[in-house]
Amino acid sequence: MYKTVLWATDGSEGADGALDEARRVLEPNGRLIAFHCDERFAGGRVSGAPIAVDEPDRKAKIHGQVEALLADGTDVKLVVVVTHHGPAGEIAAAAEAHEADVIVCGTRGLGSVAGVFAGSVAMRLPHVAGCPVLVVSERAARRHELADHVGARH
CATH for 55: 3.40.50.620
The residues near 8 (Cβ < 8 Å, ≥ 6 apart) are: 15, 18, 35, 36, 37, 87, 91, 103, 104, 105, 121, 125
Q: How far apart are CA 15 and CA 44, in angstroms?
A: 30
SS (H, E, C) 5-30: EEEECCCCHHHHHHHHHHHHHEEEEE
Count of domains for the chain: 1
Mean pLDDT value of segment 32-41? 95
User: Model-level pTM?
Assistant: 0.86
What is the pLDDT confidence band of residue 115, given thresholds at 50, 70 and 90? Answer: very low
The SS3 call for residue 91 is helix
Which range of residues forms the domain containing residue 132? 2-153
* φ/ψ of residue 143, rounded to 5: -60, -45
Q: How far apart are CA 60 and CA 43, in angstroms?
A: 27
Residue 113 has pLDDT above 50, yes or no: no
| Residue 149, pLDDT score | 60
How high does pLDDT run on average in the chain?
88
What is the pLDDT confidence band of residue 96, given thresholds at 50, 70 and 90? Answer: very high
